Amino acid sequence: MIEFENVFKEYSNGILALSNINFKILDGDFVFLVGSSGAGKSTMLKLLMREETVTRGKILIEGTDITKITKRKIPELRRNISVVFQDHRLLDKKTVFENVAYALEILGESKKNIKLSVEEALEIVSLTDKKNCYPSELSGGESQRVSIARAIVNKAPILLCDEPTGNLDQETAWDIMKALIKINERGTTIVMATHAVDIVNKMQRHVITLNKGQIVKDIESGGYYEED
């Protein structure tokens, strides 16, 4: 479970990006963080990854307050939380397979395990047939699916997505969502910050709505503009 308890985040320039945030996300949940630009969605994701630190409050992941863990323990946290961004930043000189394998090579996994895990991740995002391609040979949607495969290859229980369908047309965006749904069905908790109204409305999942750094709505299952 992920829990935010009375979380405040003030940046050093004095901007209060989050104010008294409280919510719970259960294991295996699929959650949308919505709200206009500047509402505080990315800040929330950055706090979860410990890319930023809270000004006040607690963030519990499986009962551990991650605002209190030492710098030395941050790599361990990141093994449990993977991230997908809007801009996918693949390595141009590596193939699809090599891009996905890279994270596991750094962790020192055996070649055999790497091959198995990478093939499984590519299968989930339906890119098995592109494994020997280079990023320059892929469409925007395919590149984004490679970055999703790269994020899930270490089998972290939590996947954070910051506008993963941001630059894509509707149909391609749904290919991304299909991959995320499959990942969620395998038990991964997904927290997705998005502006994509139609996706949120069609999915009818947990929606947390932010406005100017505050939660204005938290519904267990619903759409973007659902009334209480």
Nearer to ligand ADP, 42 or 147 (CB): 42
Q: Minimum distance from CB of 192 to ligand ADP (Å)?
A: 12
Tokens matching residue 4: 């935010």
**Dist CA 37 CA 211 (whole Å):** 9
φ, ψ of residue 33 in degrees (nearest 5): -100, 115
Q: Shortest approach of ligand ADP to residue 210 CB, angstroms?
A: 6
Nearer to ligand ADP, 157 or 166 (CB): 166
Of 4, 13, 27, 33, the closest CA to residue 164 belongs to 33
- Which long-range contacts (C-beta less than 8 Å, at least 24 apart) are formed by 40-43? 40/9, 40/210, 40/212, 40/213, 41/162, 41/193, 41/210, 42/162, 42/193, 43/9, 43/17, 43/18
Q: How far is the CB of 17 from ligand ADP (least distance, A)?
A: 3
Q: How far is the CB of 123 from ligand ADP (least distance, A)?
A: 32
> With respect to ligand ADP, which residue has the nearer C-beta, 42 or 189?
42
81/101 with CB nearer ligand ADP? 81
Q: State the Cα torsion 26-29-30-32 to the nearest 10°.
A: -20
The minimum distance between CB 7 and ligand ADP, in angstroms, equals 13
Name which of 147 and 194 has its Cβ closer to ligand ADP. Answer: 194
Contact positions vs ligand ADP (CB under 6 A) = 11, 13, 15, 17, 35, 37-43
